[in-house]
Each structure stands twice: as structure tokens, then as C-alpha cells.
Amino acid sequence: MNIKKWIAVPLILLMVALTGCQAVGGFDVSKNLLGTLDVKSQQSTEKISLKLTPREGISQGDQEIIDLLNSISVTVDEAKVQSEEIASAKGTLHIDKYNLPFELALDRQGMAIQLEGAKKPYYISLNSYESLGGLPAGFDPYVYSKDVKDLTKTAMALVLKHAPNPSTISATSVTEEVYGEKDKVKLTHLHAELRGDELVALVKPFLTNLAKDEAGLKELIGQAIDVTKNIASGMAIEGSDKVTTELNANKEKLVNEAYTEVKKYLDLAVAQYDTGVSTLYAQSPEIKTVLSANTVLKTDLYFDEKGNARKSSADLTVALPDVEGLPVKSFSILTETQAWNINGSVTADKVDISKGVIDLNKQAELTPGATLRNFDENSPIYNILKNDLKITKVETTFDPKDDYYVLENRGGTAFIPLRELAYELNSELKWDAAAKQITVVDDMTGKTLKLKSGSKQATLEGSTLKLPQAPYTDQYGTLYVPFKTVAEALGATVTRSSNGEYVLKRD
């Protein structure tokens, strides 16, 4: 069973249906929702939390995990959107009894995340497009962000135009407090609820209405062609001029041909919708549980007199089928947001990266030891990682009779391939061809151990370490080392069980 499948389906469809709101009580829902796409800058607060509802009779271990997950929430005390490319946020991650403050800064180059107690911030590069195959050097996707945004707005307008309202929707005038305002603000409160089974019923009329809108579909297709043309003209690669010329010369023909295909598939989708839903439920009965009346989206949006969304809250509960190994019968995601200074002057905060960062794209910087060394030993997150999550804990059993690990016994000394031992302990290996020796970097301490094939003398942090027997290289080029001695040099222990197995441990 693909669990991701029946969780993803309702989330995607519910978000689509949420945007499908026609005028309610004289309030132009479509116009105001589309207006949210025009927000270029703002300040806001937000809270996100997760709630899992356990099934009856689950194990104590499953209940403990659920309790831990239910304790997790994120509070953003202030988010600052300076522009579409620059933003920052300060808040707190709540886990069990811990409150973990964080700062986040985003710009065109990447995103930096500073966690309390961390010596260096974590960093995610957003320039990965430079390494994607097929894209020319220097290609900048930000140049086309306006084109893509306009295309998105056109597509959303088309959806809003044809998606029917859910049965529960209302718009009322209220006066409420909003963060950042001294006085109460006059707002329009838009409330909507949508059940999973109702969503299934709304999709068909939406597709029916969409299939009839020739002008709307052709406008969207034409705009998509224009975006493609602009991107092609900006790519200095062979053949791009030809593509641009063809798109300019044959745009109307291309639009008509694309519309004919889209119209054909929309009509087919409408004609086969009921059969398709029945087949889906027959092949995957668990999806019927997910798309049932127990899956509910409740949302509240508060718009001011300028059409700005000042407050919002959403509660999405997704029912899950009763399948083996799944101790949860539903999960809920709750969000609350307040915004102010919309499209005003906003300056995002910075995260100091002048002293270096931990690059999340580099695996070597994310080992258990490297992760712990980046945090102060007295910080809450260090305690969570080491004592609660036990990220450094290693306990592996090696059976000398198992050919997979290829343990060898020479003169009463157990030998293990160094690469296998280094893998288990997350240690790094470096080969010095000139000295014909290998250096092992201990993941926990960063200490170095230097070994040579055929030599009983090793070097641990500059001091001589005598080995019981010399490491050796087999016929396949694999270096074997004395298991117990080398493991202990790397901060682990090796013991022998009653049945003759070797147990490698590290706390």
C-alpha cells in the first residue's frame, strides 16, 4: 500500500477546492483571493501545529511517539517579507518541554537558519539551478518570476471562475483586533467548510464548467506560450532563436491545437468521472475513507476594506484508513496567521553567516558527530539530539559466520574491513597516496587515526598507537584492521556475545 498516495490526494484536491469560491453575500471572493497574489511585502505572525488522533489499543511505544509529535508546534513571532526574493522570520519551535528559538533569512542566494545554541547557522543554497543539466551558464530564473506569477494568477482566476462553492460558506461583517493595529479593524469574515465526500461531488461540475470556457482556456494557453517564448529568448543556447521565431509566427495555430487537445481530455474526464471514481474506490478502498465526511477543511479568512487578508486560520483534518501498522486514525494541521503593513516598507532581518555555515547540501557536515559539535553542550537541542533522539548511538552485531561483513580471524585477532567499520561509525576516510597511508577522522571528536597496511604502528592524534597485529590488504584491495583496537580508538567498544557474535557499540 502506498501511504503517501492516500494522504496526498485529499491535500491536493482540498487546496484546489478551497480556491473555488464565487461571490457570497455581495462579497467578491474571487477578487479578494486573487488580490493575495499581488502582495509584495508585509509583516505577519503565524502558528502551525499538528494533532494526531491515535487508534484504540495501540502500543505504549506508538503512543509515546504520537504524544511527542502532538507536542510539536511552530510559532513565528514576526515574519518580514521585504520582496518576492527577500524575507526573514523569527520564532520558536516547541517540542515536548523544550522551546527552541530560531531565526531564518532568505535571499536570492539561499536560506540561512540560526538555531539557539548552534555555533554556526545552517544553510540551503538556492542556486542549484546552475548545476542542472541543459541550462546554460548564467541562466537566471528570477528574471522570469513576473511572467510566471502572471501565468499563475491567470490560472487561479480560471479556477476561481468555474469552481462551485462548498455547501458551507458565508461572509459577514465583523470588527476585530489585528496585530499591529491600535484600534479594532472592520473586516469581512469569510468562513468555509468542505468535507472530503463533498469535494468528490464538486470536481465534476468544475471540470464541466472549465471545458465550456474556450476563451479562458485559450487565454491561459496563449500566456503559457508567451512565457515559454520569453524564457527561450533568454537562453543563449543553440536553437533558441528558432524556437522564439516559431512561437511568434505560429502562436495562434499553436493555441488552437493545444486547446483542441485540452478540450478533448476535459470532455473525456467529465464523461468518465463517475466510472473513474468508482474504479478508484474499488482498487484502493482506503481512499474512500480519506475522501469521506470525516475529512474536513475549515477555513476562516478576514479581509479589510482594501481587500487585504489580515487574519486567517485553517483546520484540515484528514481521516486515515484502518490498516496494519498505522496507529493513527486521523491527523489535523492547524494554522493561524495575522498580517500588517501589507505592501508597505519592510526590511527583512539578516542571519550572520560571516563566520561560516553548515551546508545542508553536504553530507559530510550532517553526520551525528558534526551535528552535535555544532551545538553548545548545555543547549536544549544538544540534549534532544544526544539523549532523546540518540543520534550518535550505534549498536551493530557482526556474525563471523556471515559472509556479508567478511570478518577475519588471524592469530586470535578479529579483523574487519576498515571501510565497513568507518561506515558504521560515520567516520571519514582519507587516502594519502604519497605516504601510502589512510587517515580515519573520528566523527564524534574529529580526532585522526593514521594507519598503514603491513605496519603495527598507528598514529592517534600524533601519538603512537600499537596494534596487536598489522593491518593487511586482501587480493581485492580491501584494507582490514584489528576490529577491537581500531573501534576503541574511534570511541566505540567491541564485545563478544555468548553465541560468538561481535557487538559494536557507541553511546
Residue 329: C-alpha distances to residues 161, 294, 295, 322 (Å): 35, 10, 11, 7
Smallest CA-to-CA distance from 430 within 421, 420, 419 is with 419
Q: In the chain, where are the structural domains located? A: 3-340, 362-388, 394-506
Q: What is the pLDDT of residue 103?
A: 97
Alpha carbons 6 and 292: distance in angstroms, whole number: 12
Mean pLDDT is lowest, of 22-26, 63-67, 491-495, for 22-26
Per-residue pLDDT for 455 more than 60?
Answer: yes
pLDDT digits (tens, 9 = 90+) for 278-292: 999 999 999 999 999
pLDDT digits (tens, 9 = 90+) for 176-203: 999 878 889 999 999 999 999 999 999 9
Per-residue pLDDT for 338 more than 50?
Answer: yes
Average pLDDT over the chain reads: 87
Q: Specify the length of the chain in residues.
A: 507
Q: What is the pLDDT of residue 2?
A: 39
Mean pLDDT is lowest, of 403-407, 455-459, 476-480, for 403-407
Segments of 146-244 assigned E as strands: 168-176, 185-195
Q: What is the pLDDT of residue 22?
A: 53
The mean pLDDT of 21-31, rounded to a whole number, is: 70
Exposed/middle/buried for residue 419 (C-beta within 10 Å: 0-12, 13-18, 19+): middle
Of the pLDDT bands very low, low, confident and very high (cuts 50, 70, 90), residue 136 is low
- Beta bridge mates, 334: 49, 315
Q: Which CATH superfamily is domain 394-506 in?
A: Copper amine oxidase-like, N-terminal domain (3.30.457.10)
Q: What is the pLDDT of residue 13?
A: 44
Phi-psi region of 356 (alpha: psi -120 to 50; beta: other; left: phi over 0): left
Q: What is the pLDDT of residue 145?
A: 81
| Interior angle at CA 29, CA 25 and CA 31, nearest 5 | 130
Share of the chain above pLDDT 70, in %: 89
C-alpha cell at 466: 600499537
CB-based contact 437:450 (threshold 8 Å): yes
